[in-house]
Structure 1
Amino acid sequence: MSSSMLIGTLAVPADRIEPPDFDHGRRTLEETDDVSQFTFDDPDNEIRDLLPDLHHTVEVTDDHGQPILAYAQQAGAAIIDSLEEALASNQTSFLVVAGYEIYFSAGRSWGGAPTDAADAMWDADKLPEPVLLAMGFIRDYSKPLARKNGNPGHVTDTDVVDAIALGLGTQPQWSGADELQWIADAVGAVRERPGSTEPAQYLRAFTEQHAFDPTSSDFLAQYVSHDAGTDNDRE
């Protein structure tokens, strides 16, 4: 017999030192003035589920079916409260992968109810993006960790590639050696700065640090200068 699982997940950068900042999320939620930033699928029912003490006669959506901001904010506050409890509970585990620390909780898709923690994580997806970012969460962790998907921490490889692409792509002309200097500086944020050592030493250090010879890769080998020497030369 087998069963399938429903898994609730949330992610933060793995190098984040501080725990999720729920109070910052609450303050950002209070400052939210655009109700369209909430992502309720069924605003009326979802808000009522999150605010069970609301009287049934209270209208939580407008004539167009959009949530009323005050009630959306109250529902958002309830989500944050539940999320804070969930991440501190024994229903939640975490793993580290590809630069992310991923919180998760699960329940069977049939034969049993999901955990409260899983429900809280699913509900978190209804919050405005700035609120999630304020707490330290990154919504789409299927993408490489980078500034463009909300990472406020250390510079990543993807950030450097983006910086080089923007630096070259937004200049009408390139100025040769000057361009190489700032590119080397950008690379220096995540690797030993190119030009800081002799070519052969740079290649040797790269190989030792990563336990990988880049000349064994057809893609990388085309960028390794002959000045760095061959494996035999380095031996």
Structure 2
Amino acid sequence: MPVSTAESRLVNAPPAVRQMWLAVADAHTDATRHMERLHAVKDADDYCQTLAAYFGWQDSAETLLLRFDWSPTQWDPRTLTRLDGLHQDLLDLGVSSAQQAALPRCRLPEINTLAEAVGLAMVLLGSTLGAQKMHRWVRDRLPEAPVRFFATPVRTSWRDFGAMTERALPTAQQRAAAASAAARTMHAFVSWAETWASGNVQSPIREEVKQVA
């Protein structure tokens, strides 16, 4: 049976990373299904709505991630941030900063400790796995569309992230807290993706999209 990309990363992963991946495994399957629906862009309007969905998730997650003091972990959470590129892509599509500020945001679970924030960070890093596929998809269908968000990789590797978890989560209790937070965050992401994929979010930008194709 073929080994998935996610499973291959678990072979030599630190215990905390394995525990978090196992905690989100079922929800990850649901997230993939919903994201495939979101990624099936046919025109500039579809693409803009997809970016708006990502914006609501990315802004909420990055804002929460950066509230914590990560200095004890010797890891910079800004290496996970991609919101600037997404903001610029939306500007290029005719969505102003004010309109972006008015977009709905993903409601995340309570994250109160650094251990829980590690779980959030793992889901945020995992959410980048489909970026290259989406980049190719958009380039094939909308060759003039801006793709900074999908084309720009995060500046942290899974190896760096795994090393950070060993410093940040030395106890079983902390690893359990991180896994629980990862699972709750993933379920929030799944719910958000499902809501957008089903067309149940009233986006204020639908009529403001520039035609880029």
Instruction: Give the number of the structure whose residues are more often strand, by fraction.
Output: 1
Greater RCO (Cα-Cα under 8 Å, separation 6 or more)? 2
Structure label with greater radius of gyration: 1
Q: TM-score range by the shorter chain?
A: under 0.3
TM-score if structure 2 supplies the norm length?
0.23
